[in-house]
Chains A and B, each alone.
Chain A
């Protein structure tokens, strides 16, 4: 396997670009594996990578019904941040951000992680006070957090609409280490990294059944035959409930909802940061990709759905929010828009946990936060699978937390999945 470097680019430039290998193999499935991960999205691939790298388990298959990174891994707005307050989330997302900071080196693959700052606009003294509490709490975990006054914000982002009479901007909460990354590159980087350790990534292999015996999973039935498994991990956010029901495990504290994202035609450099606007029922986040497209999104479609396509009222809402904070986008044309199916959980937080079956492990419930979480999600899920016990950081990311009276509810929205945007 070619190691990517400035030298390899130079050498192949002189030799007609003929020295490049496949980034990962396309193996036939073996009859059985020590660990089978279902879902070759960012979380599944990261899990396989860290299982091999951190725990020395290399006889692994990652099964994917479509192509790797073709689900929510390729359908997000690529924002990475760790501005969470609740115990259970704070350490987890900060660990994830630290992994992001070294990810390109770790994978020998440029994931184009750009720490360009995440700016959450503040519109009222009450919002500022609540955010001050959250951002001060973040600093207890050594997460960087700043509150900017209006003058500082105007210097950094001069072209926001500062004359909005209904929702005047009074400042911003800022995390400078936050930013964006190239989502496909993260999937490809983890796939290539895992493959180099000998992990089989098997695409076009849909799981159609889960065979149980004596409280254990024996094998998974797939469109490419039965595959035996020592341990099984589900990492299929969006379709977790379906797989859960294939294993005859009943209900989950999860509903599937869809979330849209948008990208405009490429523009000259306009916005250096990730800007978030959320007030009066609106929810809007925008950044500019390295290609120049404005990448943005808003709320869920507000009703449960497994369809990977969005509805028009949300397109309108998002466009209204865009124009209200960045009126200069008024004539910009939309290039593409798409929707992904999210695992919306009952408190807006994830699950990385053991299950009622002895050798089955669950990684699910990522709500809006799946992209930024993927390195730490893979890290802790691999640790859970390898050692059969949760790390203290994820001990409350289990299915039993509601029974214990624990809700990791950042928004305080209550047990209604669609409200945890």
Chain B
């Protein structure tokens, strides 16, 4: 079991959360080229090691979080709210 320190709820089992995916993906503007959209939707770096990823605390506060986690050891380095405004308001390092 991975334990995730939710900034709103405290440390909880990962089974309370839903895994989102690679948090480094930035979607382009709506009128961006098909190639740019293809790259954002389909292409992944698939890091072996520390990666930024999104988790949804779906059975808790229902907030989206950005978690830095090692994909081999599952060690978690940091957790912050995915919404930048929240992160700033809570004075969490980004």
Contact = CB atoms under 8 A, between A and B. Distances in A.
Interface of A: 239, 241-242, 250-256, 302-307, 311-313, 346, 402-403, 415-418
B2 interface: yes
B71 A306 contact: yes
Given A303-B14, A313-B1, A416-B21, A254 B44 contact: yes
A5 B70 CA distance: 50
B78 interface: no
B53 A307 contact: no
Contact of B72 (A241, A254, A307): A307
B19 interface: yes
Contacts of B35: 403
Given A402-B38, A403-B38, A251 B48 contact: no
Given A251-B43, A305-B72, 9 more contacts: A241-B48, A256-B48, A303-B2, A304-B51, A304-B53, A306-B71, A307-B74, A402-B38, A403-B38
Given A242-B48, A304-B53, A306-B48, A418 B19 contact: yes
B42 A253 contact: yes
A402 B35 CA distance: 10
Interface of B: 1-2, 13-15, 18-19, 21-22, 34-35, 38-39, 41-46, 48, 51, 53, 71-74
Interface of B is mostly: mixed
A302 B1 contact: no
Given A241-B48, A415-B42, A311 B2 contact: yes
Contacts of B21: 255, 304, 416, 418
Contacts of A304: 19, 21-22, 46, 51, 53, 71
A242 B46 CA distance: 8
A254 B46 contact: yes
Contacts of A403: 34-35, 38
Nearest to A242: B48
Contacts of A256: 46, 48, 71
Given A242-B48, A307-B74, A251 B15 contact: no
A217 B13 CA distance: 45
B71 A302 contact: no
Given A302-B18, A303-B14, A304-B19, A415 B41 contact: yes
Contact of B19 (A252, A254, A303, A307): A303
A251 B39 contact: yes
A346 B48 contact: no
A332 B27 CA distance: 49
Contact of A305 (B15, B34, B45, B71): B71
A252 B43 contact: yes
Contact of A302 (B19, B42, B73): B19
The 8 closest A-B pairs by CB, nearest first: A241-B46, A303-B19, A251-B43, A313-B15, A253-B42, A402-B42, A346-B42, A306-B72
A246 to B, nearest CB: 11
A303 B56 CA distance: 12
**Most A Cβ at <10 Å: residue of B2, B39, B42, B43:** B42
A242 B44 CA distance: 12
Contacts of B13: 313
Nearest to B15: A313
A416 B41 CA distance: 9
Nearest to B16: A313
Contacts of B14: 303, 311, 313
B44 A253 contact: yes
A280 to B, nearest CB: 17
Contacts of B2: 303, 311
A179 to B, nearest CB: 33
Contacts of A313: 1, 13-15
A315 to B, nearest CB: 10
Nearest to A256: B46
A346 B14 CA distance: 24
